[in-house]
Amino acid sequence: MDFGKVITAVVTPFDDELKVDYDSFQKLTDYLIANGSDSIVVTGTTGESPTLTDEEKLNLYKAALEASNKRAKIIAGTGSNNTAKSIELSVKAQEIGVDGLLLVAPYYNKPTQEGLYRHFKMIAESVNIPCMLYNVPGRTSVNIEPETIARLSKVKNIVALKDAGGNLDKTSLTKKLAPEIDVYSGDDSLTLPMLSLGAKGVVSVASHVAGKEIKEMIESFEKGDVKRALEIHLRLFDLFKTLFITTNPIPVKEALNQMGLKVGGLRPPLVDADEKTKKAISDCLKALGILG
């Protein structure tokens, strides 16, 4: 399975009553595909997965598949800190027809490396579609070590890693120990350096705003035009950082709303951007020429 170079972790639009706005979600999906996204992660962290019901998640997968109409791969974020529940949702997502799964490291219960291995193995072996591991210790308080990723790379269906560990030495070791696994940057600002370590692309938040440029950056690097790739990276660097000045997805939802792509607010316990954050986002978008 080739998930491509630019994978967008899509936000979940809500209406004024904070109900899922499926119409806006499909319009956003279409917009993302038209602007460089090869795959879309639905109900990941950026999609506010902790506050979505299973029914809402399954309906979002159906809506994404309908909107994409096979123009992009649809990856369902079905991972959780409950192995049995993750298996149940993964099987249902596969039945709906998603192209792959994103499996986050179990959060809060802090499993051992052996526990992580068994958790991911059990989920991957319950389905017949490709699985991407998601290492994000800043949110989960547990790190999937390179040695564990190497073990998991031998498991049927585990084909990729979203690496948001922020440790390039561990990325290097992962590529050395598990050369067959496709590594994707989980941090927009680290995409360019991670490409030099063999990463295939990025699971991006900033691609909501600058998808075509992010794709050009990756393709420029692949063609050997590192100078052009660096120019794009530096042009977008403030955007990469501004979209994380407070908890994701607060800034990217504000950015999309300012751009006229209405995605609504956020479900508690997340809250809308404050005035200082709104101004920082507005200034950033104006500097990039996205807002007048």
* pLDDT on residue 151: 98
* pLDDT on residue 1: 78
| CA distances in angstroms from 152 to 65, 112, 136, listed in the order given | 28, 14, 17
* pLDDT on residue 215: 98
Residues whose CB falls within 8 Å of the CB of residue 255, separated by 6 or more in sequence, listed in order: 208, 209, 243, 281, 284, 285
* pLDDT on residue 113: 98
61: three-class secondary structure by DSSP: helix
* pLDDT on residue 292: 82
pTM for this structure?
0.98
Mark the ranges of the chain whose per-residue pLDDT is less than 50.
Answer: none
Torsion of CA 57, 60, 65, 66, to 10 degrees: 150
Q: What is the pLDDT of residues 178-216, one digit of tens each?
A: 999 999 999 999 999 999 999 999 999 999 999 999 999
- Contacts by 139-144, CB closer than 8 A, 24 or more apart: 139/45, 139/104, 139/107, 140/104, 140/105, 140/106, 140/107, 140/108, 141/107, 141/108, 141/110, 142/105, 142/106, 142/107, 142/110, 142/111, 142/116, 143/105, 143/170, 144/105, 144/113, 144/116
Catalytic positions are 134, 162
* pLDDT on residue 9: 98
Q: What is the pLDDT of residues 168-181, one digit of tens each?
A: 999 999 999 999 99
Question: Where do the domains of the chain lie, and which CATH numbers do they carry?
Answer: 6-225 (3.20.20.70)
